[in-house]
Amino acid sequence: MTAAVADLLFRPRNVVVYGASSDPAKLSGRPLAYLTKFGYAGGIYAINPHRTQVQGVPAYADLSQIDAPVDLAIIVVPAAAVVEAVERCANAGVGAAIIFASGFAEIGDPGTAIQDRITAIARRTGMRVVGPNCLGSFSAADRAFATFSTAFDDEGERPDSPIALVSQSGAVGTFTYSTMNSLGLGVRYFANTGNEADVTVVELLAGLVDAPDVSVLLGHIEGVQDFTALEELMHSAADRGKPLVLLKAGRTPAGSRAVAAHTASVAGDDDAFERAAATYGAVRVHSMEAMADAALAFVAGRPAAGRRLTVVTQSGGAGALAADTAVELGLVVEPWQSEDRELLASHLPYFASTANPIDATGSLINDVGILTRTLQVACDNDDTDAVLVVLGNSDAGADAMVDALRRAYAETSKPFFVAWTGGSGRPRRQLLESGIPTYSEPGRAVRVLSYLVEHSLRHATAPTAG
């Protein structure tokens, strides 16, 4: 069942927009516009009793008139008409339905009763339901954009990355998606589950664990309906070596109240969630930015062999800050115990430091060869499991430094991160375009490095779910 719902959402053969508007600017018109605009290759149909065609797509008064099996229905009618639409879709043999409308369990008892009717239909007929109170899903792989989100209104090219993002909150999901785009990352499969009358974040992520074109799994969760299913997801991801990054709300009484008001979810035992994540090697983050940062770290696909971090910097002060954070997070930042330290000294100014962090000083701005030689020694060093380069400002000499970083990154298989603070931001963009994990502040880079190291050292030994 799990794999089937993922297939219905992300790889549908035919899609119907139930209640489709001829105005592509309206919420009820956007899904049809996106499906045609982005080149979905399956069958596209509309249900609109007042028209024979909507936005160039054949329109019908009833689902029974469509002479093709419908895998996915996008229900865009108002809340008052949703139950009837769900019933009609289920009776017509539709595989899955997405419900955009709000006004259900999140508003209290009257809405809960209506949502319960939707759940009952899903249980009775086997049709899967995503939502209500959600903004839909998309599959970049199959161009199946079953959503009304305005995140897709721009005409620019979108990066594509082997990442799945499933979020209970539509805004959290699209905010994270946009943040990832700014880091040069894309999302291959996305879904927002809303009130979770039927389909949950956990179920959809479980359905994508074995997808060959997904290497990183991201999830935002407000409530956990089935804790055993969550543990099984964590174990499955770890068993396949795929990072599972989770952002869960409701850690505090205030957060739990907000969760209940937002999607009528019960946040559950946060301590139990924390223990499960630690036990099975899932990565728990506490912000949308941190989830995007983690995706950038993991998608590079470079595991760490150990905890030993070498920091190369142009600023002794920034290096010290990075070292403090690294040690606090369980990384090891110690001077090298090899002859490489003497070799390094021969490449640095006499006033530089060969201790770790390695302070190459501001001289590397005027002599990029210092940076090149330092990175060569650091990446080859046997006491180094990962490298962090801490730079800042330096726009005038940035092009040569960026080229040196690109070469060093290409010549090593070790995790290699850059923190470039200040300046115009252009060097960061250039490095990100080259696929190098790059952050605007050393603390962000170190934190995700710690996630990467922990995952690298622990995922293979995650225990079997009981």
**Whether 59 contacts 47, CB under 8 Å:** yes
**Whether 313 contacts 418, CB under 8 Å:** no
What does DSSP assign to residue 283? E
Q: Which residue's structure tokens are 């298989």? A: 413
Report the run of H or E that residue 273 belongs to, with start and end: helix 270-280
Residue 459 to residues 82, 212, 234, 240, Cα–Cα distance (Å)? 43, 18, 10, 9
Say whether 161 sits in a helix, a strand or coil: coil
Pick from 270, 149, 282, 272: nearest CA to 205: 282
Q: Which residue's structure tokens are 């229900």? A: 75
**Sequential pLDDT tens for the chain (466 residues):** 334 899 999 999 999 999 999 999 999 999 999 999 999 999 999 999 999 999 999 999 999 999 999 999 999 999 999 999 999 999 999 999 999 999 999 999 999 999 999 999 999 999 999 999 999 999 999 999 999 998 877 766 778 999 999 999 999 999 999 999 999 999 999 999 999 999 999 999 999 999 999 999 999 998 788 999 999 999 999 999 999 999 998 666 665 665 555 565 555 678 899 999 999 999 999 999 999 999 999 999 999 999 999 999 999 999 999 999 999 999 999 999 878 899 999 989 989 999 999 999 999 999 999 999 999 999 999 999 999 999 999 998 899 999 999 999 999 999 999 999 999 999 999 999 999 999 999 999 999 999 999 999 985 444 443 3
Pick from 172, 156, 396: nearest CA to 262: 172
How far apart CA 133 and CA 144 sit, in angstroms, is 20
DSSP assignment string, 242-271: --EEEEE--SSHHHHHHHHHHH------HH
Pick from 63, 129, 144: nearest CA to 98: 129
Beta bridge partners of 54: 57
Q: Supply the pTM of this predicted model.
A: 0.93
Tokens standing for residue 241: 């070596």
- Phi-psi group of 42: left, alpha or beta (phi > 0 → left; psi -120 to 50 → alpha; rest → beta): beta
For the chain, list the domains and their CATH numbers.
1-150 (3.40.50.720), 157-299 (3.40.50.261), 302-458 (3.40.50.261)
Pick from 135, 137, 136, 188: nearest CA to 159: 188
